[in-house]
Structure 1
Amino acid sequence: MEQELEIIRDQQKEVWNKFSSGWKKWDNLMMDFLNPVGDEIVRLLNPQNSDIVLDIASGTGEPGLTIASRLPGGKVILTDLAEEMLEIASENAGMRNITNIETCVCDVSKLPFADHSFDAISCRFGFMFFPDMQLAVQEMVRVLKPGGRIVTAVWDIPEKNFWVTAIMGAINKNLGLPAAPPDAPGIFRCAKTGVISDLFQEAGLTDISEVEIAGKMNCKTTDVYWNLMTDVAAPVVAALSNADEDMKATIKAEVYNLLNQKYADGNVVIDSSAIVIYAEKRS
């Protein structure tokens, strides 16, 4: 089992490093898209002046950088499997003059920190991809101080996330991709109500709550949507790489037709839905 987890981790590290340039290119649009979820994480986390906060699966830096900006006497440690994503996070911190951060390339299942190191932990859209979610929660609980807070976010059901299904639906229809096992890492793995809350409860966390947060991907045009998704969405790129040029053209035409029908005025602003989960460690 450990070897299987390492294989998945290595594959994910390679993929996220590979796609780091795409995330840098589209950072402004993506961060605008994800801001409502980040704002709710920060609100629930309620960072206090001297808190030491761990941000897991930091990517290009959010919500860790915003949390750091609220901590004049504290700091945030940004972690990710992909060092190239954390390099972008460091650049973003520099552009915003945020200096109370550190970056650490590490695996959530083997956090390189002592027990009871952090006042709070944030994790936006990481859980769905962790090879072993239970082990990840155990590690988070281990490094969290008694009385500390955890806030995480996962994507809601496919029916509420057209920004994903618009393109993946056309890909699955035309390429006949096999359905992934329900417990395999993937974007909707945690969409079922209670998945994360149950994990938190099993790990001994308390005061658990869930809230749904809506967002909007403001692409403006169909071209922007297509270019964005084929730059940053690993499953999209992986699937299209196995299609010939005619099939790619067919898929693209279907996606454009779908969006043009749904957004007849030409203003492509796509709804999304996420679940934000809060919990505390017993004092």
Structure 2
Amino acid sequence: MNAQLEEIREQQKQSWNKFSSGWKKWDQLTMDFLHPMGQSIIASIQPSGNNRILDIAAGTGEPGLTIAGMLNGGKVVMTDVAEDMLAIARANAAQRGITNIETAVCDVCELPFDNDYFDAVSCRFGFMFFPDMQLAAKEMARVLKPGGRVATSVWNVPDKNFWVTAMMGTIAKNMELPPPPPGAPGMFRCCKPGMMKAIFENAGFKNIQEEEVTTTLNAGTAEVYWNMMTEVGAPIVAALSKADDAMRQKIKSEVFELINSRYPEGKVAVEGSALVISAIK
């Protein structure tokens, strides 16, 4: 891997480790929000019995832990570049009495597993952050058994994800933010129609399917929404760190006004949309 890609990997590792405490704090709310995409991935890979499943970019544990609970004699290997996130996943597993998991800190572009090793591969919201998405897909194909299934989710277009654009749009309206370099990791890096299908095709997958899955962030109040987003959202925190107190307060007030004008008080349920891509080796 070249120096630029290694730098991206290191930045991702540092960022996810840094925000792991926020993800732990807001685990229930965020996992409820991401649940529909996890369920679609599970339905696509059909885990059962003594299957050996690889869950990439496992974060705090889902959907890997749910998959582990569906197996009888099988196991889930959960990987992530951020050790602190996997530590939360292990704690969540212990709390739920799930023992048929292993964790491994590694980069998806250099998976430490043999060829044709796993029955299925799951990856919920990892692709957007991988240094080399095509290499990641090829590695998934390499470690997957012939006939094995893979499924991943990526965020759909910004217009269908008010849960993040409400914040980032307000920040962008008030601050001059430098545009990210072309192809840089980001929330909407994979939303272009046909992009993920092409990546999977180039990795050698077949029977590629794509479906839209919608969800809602049931924050309840604008205050909860703001607090969660500013404790788990790395781009949001990075942008707000460049604002002085007055500007930060202005942005916060405008976000509250935007959210409260759209949702009844106490019923803030902000919409989101993802694409779930599945295929067979």
TM-score by length of 2: 0.98
- SS of corresponding position for 2:223: helix
- SS of corresponding position for 2:120: strand
State the partner residue of 1:59: 59
Deviation at 1:195, TM superposition (A): 1.1
Deviation at 1:242, TM superposition (A): 0.9
State the Cα deviation string for residues 63-84 of structure 1 (Å, max 9, x = none).
0001110111100000000000
Residue identity opposite 2:153 in structure 1: A
State the partner residue of 1:126: 126
Q: How does 1:1-283 map to 2 (within 5 A)?
A: 2-281=2-281
The CA distance in 2 between the partners of 1:201 and 1:7, in whole Å, is 27
For the 8 Å contact 2:17–2:84, the answer to whether it is kept is yes
For the 8 Å contact 1:260–1:266, the answer to whether it is kept is no
State the Cα deviation string for residues 5-27 of structure 1 (Å, max 9, x = none).
11111111011001000000000
- SS of corresponding position for 1:207: strand
The CA distance in 1 between the partners of 2:278 and 2:182, in whole Å, is 24
State the Cα deviation string for residues 58-117 of structure 1 (Å, max 9, x = none).
000000001110111100000000000000000000111110000000000000111111
The CA distance in 1 between the partners of 2:124 and 2:170, in whole Å, is 27
Residue identity opposite 2:90 in structure 1: S
The CA distance in 1 between the partners of 2:3 and 2:176, in whole Å, is 30
- SS of corresponding position for 1:211: strand
Question: Unpaired segments of 5 or more residues in structure 1?
Answer: none
Residue identity opposite 2:9 in structure 1: R
Deviation at 1:184, TM superposition (A): 1.4
The CA distance in 2 between the partners of 1:97 and 1:57, in whole Å, is 22
The CA distance in 2 between the partners of 1:10 and 1:221, in whole Å, is 35
TM-score by length of 1: 0.98
State the Cα deviation string for residues 216-258 of structure 1 (Å, max 9, x = none).
1000000000000000000000111111111101110110110
For the 8 Å contact 1:108–1:139, the answer to whether it is kept is yes
The CA distance in 2 between the partners of 1:10 and 1:190, in whole Å, is 21
The CA distance in 1 between the partners of 2:29 and 2:50, in whole Å, is 31
The CA distance in 2 between the partners of 1:58 and 1:265, in whole Å, is 34
Residue identity opposite 2:134 in structure 1: Q
Question: Unpaired segments of 5 or more residues in structure 2?
Answer: none
The CA distance in 2 between the partners of 1:190 and 1:183, in whole Å, is 10
Deviation at 1:182, TM superposition (A): 4.3
The alignment of Structure 1 onto Structure 2 pairs a total of residues equal to 281
- SS of corresponding position for 1:150: strand
The CA distance in 1 between the partners of 2:264 and 2:75, in whole Å, is 46
- SS of corresponding position for 2:136: helix
State the Cα deviation string for residues 183-237 of structure 1 (Å, max 9, x = none).
2110000011111111001111100000100101000000000000000000000
For the 8 Å contact 1:182–1:189, the answer to whether it is kept is no
Residue identity opposite 2:132 in structure 1: D
The CA distance in 2 between the partners of 1:119 and 1:219, in whole Å, is 36
- SS of corresponding position for 2:131: coil
The CA distance in 2 between the partners of 1:204 and 1:167, in whole Å, is 38
Residue identity opposite 1:94 in structure 2: A
For the 8 Å contact 2:221–2:265, the answer to whether it is kept is no
The CA distance in 2 between the partners of 1:206 and 1:25, in whole Å, is 39
- SS of corresponding position for 1:179: coil
Q: CA RMSD, aligned part only? A: 0.9
Residue identity opposite 1:149 in structure 2: R
The CA distance in 2 between the partners of 1:242 and 1:180, in whole Å, is 16
The CA distance in 1 between the partners of 2:239 and 2:26, in whole Å, is 21
The CA distance in 1 between the partners of 2:221 and 2:137, in whole Å, is 39
State the percentage of identical aligned residues. Answer: 60
Runs of 4+ in 1 over 6 A off after TM superposition: none
